[in-house]
Structure 1
């Protein structure tokens, strides 16, 4: 790296700033020479580092030539995450020094040799205080770049969004009460409370209040459209809005985040550096929005350039908050590491947060399913009663953790089901305990996105054998006693059988191992039929004893079938991941069916994605046409014919599982 003359580079830079400014009006020459005196040219080789994340922001760089890459350090020791690359002349690096935080938000590395102008933030800020019009013009160019980077980050973010905005679903807001005609708070009080207007004094706030018009929007009504030049600062007074973004490659809108904090600036255009709205804003609840007419403020800002500079700094703060949120959401959606994203978000603000702020504990509480609820309680409390920064960060956390909250509610529902089953009164019959269990799982699955197809194939009468491909459990659903409630089998029981026949049926489950107290306590109380598998404790028995045990199973299971109770079992005898499902089939289910009079139907159910985190997937079940064993196996004692039948059925079943996966994928994109 070397230091050389800056004359030519400075002239080029000043010419670029002047050419792109909409604030210059020719009413007076600005002291460009004083700006030039603060600049020095710096050259960096490829792989040279301009800034390091979280280091004090002492310098601003304007990259005249070369390419730079912006990176986020997620955890100490991990590789940095690329969040953008720029090669546009006069790319600004280190502009976070203009904000109160004054620490670099990213690490910036040269991917090609770079020629830059470097300014010290201290002298630059002092110059802008003395010459605020110069500060407005200079920061106008920085703002344009900031919103360009925000658009790039949002475009990358939408690539990992599961679905475009579905307004029909977004407007349901199940369980929320709509508040109509709620009176907005007094305007000055709202502006005082707003994080955006916090640095402004009372006289300045009244100048903004004098340019306000109040607008009321009904639920689902658009407030501003992305790309619209309609000028104004739009401040939310009551209700809630959604920010949606359409990337250049499509007309579809993708959900970015929702905002409900009164005093939040939800849209902005018509100010230096902000020519048009960067996202669409839609009311998701009836809301009142104050529009501050920036055209009416225009002359006031020109007469008071110090106020104009203060406003531009606040717009830069707002853009940086949106950029920070977009990067955090990108981490969350791209890597499904919400704790990491929240930790990174809070770490960028840790020097501004009070050391006593409960938000510091949130990333740690998110580390365990058992303390996630405490994290949400803190976030909710800070969103309502924290200071301006805490409220803003808490609302961003709520948005990033929306699906995690749904997942946590599902986990808590699983805990309630387990507790209800194992603590059911001794005198309660197993049939009633199973009914209690089914009702609990129906409540739990309300937090899960799922789709069922083929219900027309369900037999009109109960007393049939339902087979399904058994899937593994995701570790997120492990209860504190290390027991995992199998989601696929409970789904078939509670969401298909119980809803159609008024009874969830009897399951065939494996015998618990000696150390599996939770497993044994749960299934013993439900009264299901237990059989030994390779996952049970090994038992020593003679062939005669084994045959006796099998006969007893056939007799017990056959009794339930003849009594009109459905039987649920997996022919595999163990579980697999969706991609590998089903595993090899065993003949027991089919020999059982052949041994019962009258012969029951075999009803195949193919399931998919119950082995994934429920917050980021759609689960699916496909019910196929029933058949009788006697129609496909004239002699179930013919071992070769049985073996060939099981191989063929497994191949067919694999196609059904793929069908369920496609169904889930289509539902995720609808």
Structure 2
């Protein structure tokens, strides 16, 4: 049995139907029948004649080309339902989001009360898409015959109903216009600023939407922008809610970057705020676990994992890429993602042991850099800030470096080295390779394997990049240079043989999709 009073109260509380009179809502309530769809249940078919207007009560309806995600299960109803099914269109959906399946864009309707299938009530009286429920979904159905009969008897009702239909169609057109406007901008922040400016005359001067572009331009306040937009989206002002939904759609890539940025903060704090008595090896492992969680929110590809040696304790080379400015933390420190990716996603996930990296000492003004690297037990080398060393200082530093590096390798821990020294762009990477890592490997006994790893696209915005890494075939210096103790022969191998091949590996990594 239907509780007509409860249904009438439900219709009366729908802000989406403000254009209608109370009597119009009562008409819908008197004739509405309940419809329940199971997950995967099909609601309507593309091209079918419009037979009813549906109001979403709970659940989710996806409108778009047939998905094949569930059985062709029709609705269960307690009222009359004929063989036809109704649907809607792909634009202008209150509370809807775009979902991609096999590269096809669909719209998901989630807002209670949204009229689904309204396009079937206007010429050519056919539904444009297939529709199905992604979860158990309930709707209220009003037959088209009831609506048409009321329009014939009451011209004022017909005018109000078609005003509502025009408003729904206008929402679709506004979204198409928004796509055209925002499509002119490469940066999502600029696109949202343009969107707010475009609708500024419709907004209250005190609207919080005016603050959103400012929030988005400062990385530490981007999270505040999303929180504010979600509150506005769910608020009582229909115009503000619509703009907030459109802005959230535009900012899908920025939200992904925000997840990575918050992950960077967690990685930093996992290291810098680790208990003082926690050993460096455990701090490194904690860091790698946090990094694995971080990179789960990125689009990345790795090739050549089968080329990794069966056990750790190797010299792992990594070309060095610039860090995107958006990765800079509030304390000014930038986590360089390329070496962190190699450490966590390749070495830690393969061997279960966090590697040791070779890192420069902090500059005097880099408190965040010092606080982070002081806890990890890395092999530190002097920075250029200290000035040119004397011959004796250079010899002492190199011997200390060899001792620390060899101790790391003898302990069965990988040593990650960026032989370029300085980061640069993916294009043309790597630059000139310094010889220290190769001289080190040739000098040690037993001689370690050298594992080249080429990385690409870590200097780009993470919302638009596919991070790539290629593990190349490992080698020993004694197998590629007749006399590894001869600096000139080592230099010729590195400059004339390895560097060109390394650049080809980087291009391969950049092309991974």
TM-score band (shorter)?
0.7 to 0.9
Distance 1:532 1:397, change over 3 A: same
Q: What is the deviation of 1:614?
A: 1.6
Q: Which of structures 1 and 2 has the larger relative contact order (alpha carbons within 8 angstroms, sep 6+)? A: 2
Selected match of 1:643 from 480, 484, 491: 491
Determine which of 501, 507, 512 is the counterpart of 1:658. Answer: 507
Q: Does the CA-based 8 Å contact 1:243-1:255 persist in structure 2?
A: no
Aligned to 1:200, which of 9, 15, 20?
Answer: 20
Counterpart of 2:480 in structure 1 is: 632
Aligned to 1:593: 441
Between stretches 346-355 and 202-211, larger displacement belongs to: 346-355
Q: Map of 1:271-290 to 2, 5 A cutoff?
A: 271-273=121-123, 275-290=125-140
Give the CA deviation at 1:567: 0.6
Q: Does the 8 Å CA contact 1:261/1:395 hold for their aligned counterparts? A: no
1:527 corresponds in structure 2 to 377
The corresponding residue for 2:350 is 500
Contact 2:63 2:131 in 1 (8 A): yes
* Per-residue deviation, 1:632: 1.0
Paired residue secondary structure (2:57): strand
CA contact (8 A) 2:182 2:194 kept: no
| Cα deviation, residue 461, structure 1 | 1.0
Contact 1:217 1:288 in 2 (8 A): yes
Q: Which residue of 1 aligns with 2:417?
A: 569
1:591–1:257 distance in 2 versus 1, CA, 3 Å? farther
Offset of 1:299 from its aligned partner? 2.8
State how far apart, in whole Å, the 1-side matches of 2:426 and 2:41 are: 41
Whole-angstrom CA distance in 2 between matches of 1:278 and 1:344: 31
Partner of 1:410: 260
Instruction: Report the Cα distance in structure 1 between the residues aligned to 2:242 and 2:121, rounded to whole angstroms.
Output: 23
1:606–1:368 distance in 2 versus 1, CA, 3 Å: same
Stretch deviating more after TM superposition (278-287 or 374-383): 278-287
TM-score by length of 1: 0.65
Q: Give secondary structure in 1 for the equivalent of 2:463.
A: helix
Structure 2 residue ranges without an equivalent (≥5):
67-89, 91-100
Deviation string 1:609-641 (CA, Å, 9 cap, x unpaired) is 222222233222222222222111121233443
Q: State the alpha-carbon separation in 2 of the partners of residues 526 and 224 from structure 1.
A: 59
Change in Cα spacing, 1:492 to 1:393, as seen in structure 2 (3 Å) is same
Which residue, 345, 348, 363 being the options, matches 2:195? 345
In structure 1, list runs of 5 or more residues that go unmatched: 1-182, 666-670
Q: Which of 398, 403, 408 is the equivalent residue of 1:555?
A: 403
Structure 1 partner of 2:316? 466
2:55 corresponds in structure 1 to 235
- Equivalence for 2:306: 456
CA–CA distance in structure 1, aligned partners of residues 159 and 189 of structure 2: 37
- How far off is 1:351 after superposition? 4.1
RMSD after superposition: 2.9
- Any residues of structure 2 matched to 1:266-415 within 5 Å, and which? 266-273=116-123, 275-329=125-179, 332=182, 335-415=185-265
Could you report, residue by residue, the CA deviation over 1:151-196 in whole angstroms, capped at 9, with x for unpaired residues? xxxxxxxxxxxxxxxxxxxxxxxxxxxxxxxx9x954444444454
**Deviation at 1:385?**
4.0
Cα separation, partners in 2 of 1:333 and 1:588, compared to 1, 3 Å: farther
Q: What TM-score do the two structures reach when normalised by structure 2?
A: 0.84
Alignment of 1:26-65 (within 5 A): none
Inter-partner Cα distance in structure 2 for 1:498 and 1:642: 30
Q: 2:35 aligns with which of 215, 222, 231?
A: 215
Give 1:579 shift. 2.5
